[in-house]
Structure 1
Amino acid sequence: MVGGLIRILLACFAGAVLLCGVPAHAQTGFAGQPLRVCVLRDTGGMDPAALIRQPGRFDCTTDQHRLGPGSYWAISQDIDQRSRSRAPLNVRLASLWQQGLALHVLYADDKIVSQSTDARGVAPLIQLGAIVEQSLPRRQANVVRLMWHVEGATNMRGIVLGARLSTGAQSEHANLAMAALYAGFAGLSIALIIYNLALWGALRHRFQLYYCLMVALLLAYTFSSSGALAWAWPELANNTRLRINFLLLGSTGTAALIFARSFFEERVFAGWLGRYATAVGCAMSGIGLFYFLTAPFAIHAVDTAFTCSFVALSIAVVPMLWRAWRLRSNYLWLFAIAWGAPILTAALRALSNLHILPWSFWIDNSTILAMMIEAVVSSLAVAYRIKLLRDERDDAIEREVMMRRLADTDPLTGLLNRRAFLNQAIGRPGEQLLLIIDLDHFKRVNETLGHDGGDEVLRVFARMLRTSLPAGTLVARIGGEEFAVLTPTDQPIEPETVLARLRQMRMPFDIKVTASIGTCRGMLTSEVEWKALYRVADAALFDAKSAGRDRVRHAFREAA
């Protein structure tokens, strides 16, 4: 079962690698050529028709995020291309927090065409990859330049980012590539959830449920952050979708920590590390919820807090892996690989949010790819842990069987001991034949050969009994040199044959060993009947010893 899971996961991982191998322009969703954008703060009462013809008024050197929140005008470089029926032009932008977005297009015939968003913001314009795509109206004249009016920009990352001019074919190709990537990830996630839920139904390991929760939240985050949520719910405002992104991302981080705590051995999270992980998990989900509730009026504060929670998550993983290494955790290597990509992307996102690194579509969307890798490799870790648990179970069963054998077996001869013999003998149905066998002059054998030699004689005799008596016969060593044999009377044993074989056995130092046997027939349905049967057979054995040894005496009476 585990081997099959590993093969499925490797196939899924190979598919993910193939999906990641699509051309870079398709992966990013940024089809077409980049456009340089300059910005100007809206001071109110500004005429867009005049501004679009005065690009020199716009700031092209200052980093956009340094200008602070507010409403802005943003103008593109000169384009000088025509939007045609066979090759319509689109402009593609990154989705950012803003209250409204209007686009003004200046054509070579000095005509300006404008379009603006409604209360939903850019939600109707969202494409897969959370890319805002605006179609440029087709006219006979070339497009000179574009100008946007951005209302209520929080400007935490920028005002207009990632602007690119693309043709309709390029946009369609980018959307198809992104659809293939997201569909592959969704199929992988659903397969992992179903398979691990099926395993949980059979194995009932709690970490499997936490893993499914983590993947389900990651799938929900991908559905929202990819822009698919805007397609499924067209009336949803884009800013609300962004708030949902942070809520789900924080919950995913918390679920990942919960999964890590349940997956590793308890000793890894002992002490302060467990308390720190709990605090970070609560902070991530709590700040995500706080972001969802308060972003419309306190977005800068909650965005900074969310970035700090990602930094705290990165910090938590380092001592977690260090302690797992110190304690020689069986799952360290797979978990380190699984968490490598998320920690790297968390660090990159934090650096980007703090404006140490420039904005990038790759960084902005790296969480999905990193968590996909984490989900796949964590499934391998789950499969590996199930394998170890199965091996531990098999070893425990084997040890238990061995312990039972040791508890029921005479350690010297390998025959049943007295306790095990009685457990199996008492309650046997039908009339039974009991043989009590005692080796003659065994004290003299020990004095002649020593105790090691005497032990070897006992082992040789026990081996002869075990191999020569019929299947189903109970054979036990019940005393020092005393043995018991029990068989149903309808499968009789000839005691004289046992003595004859003993005489023929080659013993250590060719010493001659004989035995005396006492027999008795009777029922063995209770301990009382056993004591009576044994007493009569033991008396017969005494008669055989008294008559000169190396012989058999039968007690021809029922045990009562």
Structure 2
Amino acid sequence: MKYLKKWIMLQVDLDSFHARGAVYAFALKMTFRAVILAFLLNIVALPMFYWIGLTSMPVAEAILLSVAFSWLFGGAISGALAYVMGQVIRDLSLSRAEFRRLSRTDTLSGLLNRRAFAEALENAGTSASLAIFDLDRFKMINDSHGHSAGDEVIKTVSRAITTVFQAPHTVARLGGEEFGVIIQNSTSDNRLMQVEILRQVVEQQVMTVNGAALRTTISAGVAEFCPGRGADEVYSLADRALYLAKALGRNRVVHEREIPERMSQTRPATDLSPATDAA
């Protein structure tokens, strides 16, 4: 039984069971194999039964009869069982796919979560930029208008990000008011321009929440993926650029290459180590 279970599992690829056609194909395949197995067992068993006197029917006739019964009864029964089993496997497949999607999705924004984004960072390639966004003074919105208003702002900004950064770019909410985007293809300057476009889009948006008109802005830090630079280093550089954007007054985009130059524009005590901002 253990070997039979293992053999059946080898025939099942859960990712291919999303379509109903896969269930019919699985049932047909399992039915055919069950009938062939039953036929082979009959060929082995019938001569033995005839030899020990358990049947008086000639072996040739018995084999022909067994073929008919194998397809008629065995095929029908095994086909029905295989179809039911296929439906169960399909339900499990869909449930697993949904669980996988939910485990990688931020429920409020509908974007990828930090876990899924971390996986994407490891596979970003070298022709890409990482942008980390932070909503400016988001805590003031929550304190002044309530967390429900803050949630609506998160949703609105999320829609703006996905409008500017469609596939093949990867967009995620990293937690709280922080977002991340892996910007693919094009040139470094063009990718940076897209981040600036998003900043302008968010700046110009007016959101009406519970009768109150709300506006927000974003600060962003951008760093480049390049050969020999790991995902952690890219993230750290983008985070430092974001911190500098906050220190320079918010509502701006800072690229990693600007860090040395921009440092002179901040107060001497500025520390570029990632730190928690008051938003």
Classify the TM-score, shorter chain: 0.5 to 0.7
Aligned residue for 1:428, secondary structure, equals coil
Q: Equivalent residue for 1:393?
A: 89
Q: Equivalent residue for 2:119?
A: 423
Q: For residues 501 and 215 of structure 1, what CA distance do their matches in structure 2 show?
A: 74
Deviation at 1:244, TM superposition (A): 5.2
Q: Equivalent residue for 1:516?
A: 219
Deviation at 1:513, TM superposition (A): 1.6
Q: Equivalent residue for 1:500?
A: 200
Match of 1:530 among 222, 231, 236: 231
Deviation at 1:548, TM superposition (A): 2.5
Higher relative contact order (CA 8 A, sep 6+): 2
Aligned residue for 1:549, secondary structure, equals coil
Aligned residue for 2:221, secondary structure, equals strand
Q: Equivalent residue for 1:412?
A: 108
Q: For residues 241 and 111 of structure 2, what CA distance do their matches in structure 1 show?
A: 23
Name the CA shift for 1:472/1:525 in 2 (closer, same or farther; >3 Å).
Answer: farther
Q: For residues 5 and 427 of structure 1, what CA distance do their matches in structure 2 show?
A: 34
- Provide the alpha-carbon RMSD of the alignment: 4.1
Q: For residues 499 and 478 of structure 1, what CA distance do their matches in structure 2 show?
A: 18
Q: Equivalent residue for 1:479?
A: 175
Q: For residues 25 and 215 of structure 2, what CA distance do their matches in structure 1 show?
A: 61
Q: For residues 99 and 228 of structure 2, what CA distance do their matches in structure 1 show?
A: 28
> For structure 2, which runs of at least 5 residues remain unmatched after alignment?
1-20, 260-279
Q: For residues 212 and 474 of structure 1, what CA distance do their matches in structure 2 show?
A: 54
Name the CA shift for 1:383/1:198 in 2 (closer, same or farther; >3 Å).
Answer: closer
Q: For residues 556 and 443 of structure 1, what CA distance do their matches in structure 2 show?
A: 30
Deviation at 1:490, TM superposition (A): 2.5
The one-letter code of the counterpart of 1:511 is L
Deviation at 1:557, TM superposition (A): 6.1
Q: Equivalent residue for 2:147?
A: 451
Name the CA shift for 1:211/1:507 in 2 (closer, same or farther; >3 Å).
Answer: farther
Q: For residues 427 and 398 of structure 1, what CA distance do their matches in structure 2 show?
A: 26
Deviation at 1:546, TM superposition (A): 2.5
Q: For residues 440 and 473 of structure 1, what CA distance do their matches in structure 2 show?
A: 23
Name the CA shift for 1:471/1:525 in 2 (closer, same or farther; >3 Å).
Answer: farther
Q: For residues 236 and 29 of structure 2, what CA distance do their matches in structure 1 show?
A: 62
Deviation at 1:477, TM superposition (A): 1.5
Aligned residue for 2:130, secondary structure, equals strand
Share of identical aligned residues, percent? 27
Name the CA shift for 1:517/1:380 in 2 (closer, same or farther; >3 Å).
Answer: same
Superposed, which structure 2 residues align to 1:234-383 within 5 Å? 243=53, 245=55, 376-383=72-79
Superposed, which structure 2 residues align to 1:203-222 within 5 Å? 211-212=38-39
Q: For residues 118 and 112 of structure 2, what CA distance do their matches in structure 1 show?
A: 9
The one-letter code of the counterpart of 1:501 is V
Superposed, which structure 2 residues align to 1:93-172 within 5 Å? none
TM-score between the two structures when normalised by the length of structure 1: 0.34
Structure index of larger Rg: 1
The one-letter code of the counterpart of 1:379 is G
Deviation at 1:392, TM superposition (A): 2.3
Per-residue CA distance 1:274-308 (angstroms, 9 max, x = gap): xxxxxxxxxxxxxxxxxxxxxxxxxxxxxxxxxxx
